[in-house]
Amino acid sequence: KAGVTQTPRYLIKTRGQQVTLSCSPISGHRSVSWYQQTPGQGLQFLFEYFSETQRNKGNFPGRFSGRQFSNSRSEMNVSTLELGDSALYLCASSPWGGPGAQYFGPGTRLLVL
């Protein structure tokens, strides 16, 4: 099976712009979660989608949003980018959001100038 894929892998934006990141889960996986990784804050949970519904949300401002499509692919959007949004954004999928482990994609590295 193909693993979790994320596009783009690298992105450079300027403050005030918006960005959309994409994640395709492992085939058959219906749960997709997003995490932000920074040197200062470590790995932080952004949100989880399951069957096109947001099931959980982390403690991030409303500028961070996401959605999931009927084929389980997910996108996250960050509007009005700030310098502090520079991070590695990781997407993870799991079979049905139950007790299984999450499997991560390679991440999208976002640099905000």
Partner 1 sequence: AQTVTQSQPEMSVQEAETVTLSCTYDTSESDYYLFWYKQPPSRQMILVIRQEAYKQQNATENRFSVNFQKAAKSFSLKISDSQLGDAAMYFCAYRGQGTSGSRLTFGEGTQLTVNP
CA dihedral 85, 89, 94, 100 (to 10 degrees): -80
Residues 6+ away with beta carbon under 8 Å from 9: 106, 107, 108, 109
CB-facing half-sphere around the CA of 1: CA atoms within 13 A: 10
Task: Check binding of 48 to partner 1 (CB under 8 A).
Answer: yes
Task: Check binding of 58 to partner 1 (CB under 8 A).
Answer: yes
Task: Check binding of 60 to partner 1 (CB under 8 A).
Answer: no
Nearer of residues 33 and 72 to partner 1, judged by Cβ: 33
Among 24, 72, 74, 102, indicate the residue that binds partner 1 (CB under 8 A).
102
Cβ 94 vs Cβ 112: under 8 Å: no
Write out the residues near partner 1 by the rule CB under 8 A.
31, 33, 35, 42-43, 45, 48, 50, 55-56, 58, 88, 90, 92, 94, 97, 99, 101-107, 109
